[in-house]
Structure 1
């Protein structure tokens, strides 16, 4: 949780053109700088546009009384959700958890008007050794071509 919070704060600072706080050693271990002059370059590298490091989500999380050693995080968004960097973030920050079980999430896209290609979503499954991600549009195209039985 602490690493995810730190990554979100660094990304928010960069988006606001603020200088991020000095990174923790744990942060630098999972996001090693790709540019020695920029400590946040390792985090920037997970985004398709490193100059726009936005996950497009907010999050909340914490531990429950029933399972105090388990932290549950919920991501949510109304606009511009970016599944790829979020998957990379989870893959890097949750290594120990991923050795026990995969983590997954789904997303939905909607529009206030009935427009072609304005609806959809997808899914992401994150394993210790890989990330699998697919949009509903890709799955639908495969099904229409006879690729899903």
Structure 2
């Protein structure tokens, strides 16, 4: 037997309105964890702000079904995190979060739903064991911005495909310079390009264009 932990500690600076939504979510999770009856859940839900009920709309018969959907196990609605709130002189709220059994998936969705103005926000975590076991140590993080939730995890070091050379199809336009191929729109900017492994490139025909397209290797710094 071994004891495993997922630790996290992070700070957020958010608006008072965002803080209100975050507090409501934390309180609702704690309320449901005590296993109240269906009528008590309905009454609690009706007592929540309209703004909160809007960002967690029901997805099933239960009024809290949309909220429960953010948890990996809807029968165990916990963020595994302690949140402390401190009002600041400028009207914002400082949130200090600590965890020994962090639930990154649930917390990420929680912050994505409740924090929309104080972006970007980020959190990291580490997991470990009190026994030395292969792959028992690692961690990760997420960053939330207007585009959504972005993840990074240490287990990618075992993913040889992740670090393999990557190629794009490029051509030179006399007016726009280098353009890069994507299967949806044709040639465009680099950020829209389809990316290929060397194996995929060997089985892909170059598209027909005014200039002869060619394979171009992406710099290693763009592969992380």
TM-score of the two chains, using structure 1 as the length reference: 0.83
Separation (CA, whole Å) in 2 of partners of 1:3 and 1:12 = 14
CA contact (8 A) 1:55 1:86 kept: yes
Deviations 1:46-105 (CA, angstroms, capped at 9, x unpaired)? 11222221111111122223xx222221221112x111111111111111223xxx1111
Could you say what the CA RMSD is over the residues aligned between the two structures, in angstroms? 2.0
Aligned match for 1:87, one of 90, 108, 111: 108
Q: Which structure has greater strand proportion?
A: 2
Q: Structure 2: which 5+ residue stretches go unaligned?
A: 1-18, 165-219
| Larger Rg, first or second structure (1 or 2) | 2
Residue of structure 1 in register with 2:121 after alignment: 103
Is 2:47 the partner of 1:30?
A: no
Runs of 4+ in 1 over 6 A off after TM superposition: none
Is 2:72 the partner of 1:48?
A: yes
The Cα shift of 1:145 comes to 6.0
Residue of structure 1 in register with 2:93 after alignment: 71
Query: Aligned residues, how many?
Result: 141
Deviations 1:87-129 (CA, angstroms, capped at 9, x unpaired)? 111111111223xxx1111111122222222211101010122
Separation (CA, whole Å) in 1 of partners of 2:88 and 2:57 = 32
SS of structure 1 residue aligned to 2:142: strand
Residue of structure 2 in register with 1:141 after alignment: 158
TM-score of the two chains, using structure 2 as the length reference: 0.57
**Bigger relative contact order (CA 8 A; separation at least 6):** 2
Residue of structure 1 in register with 2:63 after alignment: 39
